[in-house]
Structures are given as C-alpha cells and as structure tokens.
Amino acid sequence: MADAAALTHSPRVTGLFMDFDGTLAEIVSEPSKAGPLEGIPETLEELGRSFGVVALVSGRTAAELVGWFGNEVELWGLYGAERSVAGEITLAEDVAPYASLMRRVAAEAKERLQATGIDGLLVEDKGVMVGLHWRRADDVGAAGRIVTGVAGDLAERHGIEQSPGKLALELRPPVEWSKGDVVRRRAGEEGLRAAAFVGDDYGDLTAFDALDELAQSGVATVRVGVASSEMPEELKRRAEIELAGPPAVLEWLRSLLAAIPR
C-alpha cells in the first residue's frame, strides 16, 4: 500500500491503469452515447509522456476506445481480450475461436428480450462479448430479474460465462481473462515499481487483486475507487483513495501531472 506520492517519485517505472465508464466518462443510459469527460484525453496524453505505462482497460471494445483516445495511450478493450497498438486491434488467441458462437448468442438474446415486451432493455453486441442492459427500464428491479433469468439460460445452454455490472451483465466465452491480467502483464513487461488502478465497478476488483499481488513483491500500489450510488461495496471497502465521480478523477490526474518532477 502507498499514497499517491509514490506514483510520481519515479514516473518512468510507474503504471497508471484506468477503467472507462463511470471513471473517465459519466454513466449514461445508452452506452453508444458515452464519451470521455472533457479534458481527460489531453491529460492522459500528457501523463503518457512521463509515466512508464498509461493504459485504459475497459469492457468497451478497443475500436470504441480508439475513437475517443486515438493512439496516445495504451488501449485494452473487452477487459483485456482486445488490444489496440497504433490503431491495429488484435484479439487474444484463446478468445478468437468463440466469435461465431457469441454472434449467435447476441442474436438469441435480442430475440428473447424483445419477446418480453419490456421497454428499455438493450443488447450490446461487442463481438466476442454480449452486454445486456436494463438501466432504461421503468422498473429496473423487475427488468433485472427477467434479464438475469434469460442470461442464465443462455449461459447454461451455450456453455458460456456471466459477469455482473451496474444494471447490466455480460455474457462471455468460457476463457479466463480480466483487467487484473493486463495489470500483471504490463507490470512485468515494463518492470514497474509503482502502479495504480482507478475504477468503479465489479470488473475492476480483479485489477485491485493484481495490485495486491504486486505489493507483495515490493511494488508501491494505489487502489482508487470512483464513487457513485451504484458503487460495489467491496470496491468501496478496498479503495485507498475514493474520488467523487469522473470530474474528481480528472482533478486527481491533473494533480499527478503537476507533481511529476521536472
């Protein structure tokens, strides 16, 4: 465990890893209408000139992230299953064989949810993952139970996995990969001596786990949670720094930038 000052002491061997939705962008009811908070891309680009690693690790597709951030920072989509390098997107070898199956799952999920007659349900086709959202439903509790039931049936019949989110869940291939894997990999490749992860949701807990492992080997680590009314209790409990939404994240990132030795 360390305070944020450890991140700017030796920036060339420091890694800054971040979620996107709810962290660098406000949560919106329609995922396609999201975008980074004004000032975030420029600040990350500046940080990238000093830090060893500045990386976004998101459940979004890498193509979406490229559209918002270009090639100035590392971009990992689908929790690390995709990576964009100089605009070229690659898919992890063990995930690629499931692409056709997941397309079928997306089509079936859309058909099943449309048949419920409930307004406000959304199927998000991410290629090798499928997002099911009920944030826009009038009765989110009832909608959530119905979507969860459909997802459970699809997961069982197709031999795939489920992952929870905020008023949403995702269906994904039965292959282990996570944000934590990205943190471990890049920390090892770059020989990082300090690392932080900034996130707000269930999927970010694996990154916190990776930081804890790195701390045991002597790496200075900082777990940063981004607060909201939907913040998972475990993430809130484990966060060493808590920030009040994306505007506070931007302020914190700028404070890191200002503290880098010149």
pTM of the model: 0.85
Q: What does the alpha-carbon distance between residue 144 and residue 148 come to, in Å, rounded to a whole number? A: 6
Q: Is 136 exposed, middle or buried (0-12, 13-18, 19+ CB in 10 A)?
A: middle
Q: What does the alpha-carbon distance between residue 24 and residue 245 come to, in Å, rounded to a whole number? A: 8
Closest CA to 184 of 163, 204, 205, 213: 213
pLDDT, tens digit (0-9, with 9 covering 90-100), for 39-63:
999 999 999 999 999 999 999 999 9
Give the domains, in start order, of the chain with CATH numbers. Answer: 5-92+177-259 (3.40.50.1000), 97-172 (3.30.70.1020)
Closest CA to 172 of 83, 65, 76, 59: 59
Identify the pLDDT of residue 27.
Answer: 87
Within the chain, which residues score under 50 in pLDDT?
Answer: 1
Identify the pLDDT of residue 1.
Answer: 42
pLDDT, tens digit (0-9, with 9 covering 90-100), for 211-231:
999 999 999 999 999 998 788
Distance set, CA 260 to CA 11, 26, 255 (Å): 7, 27, 9
> Are 196 and 7 within 8 A, CB to CB?
yes
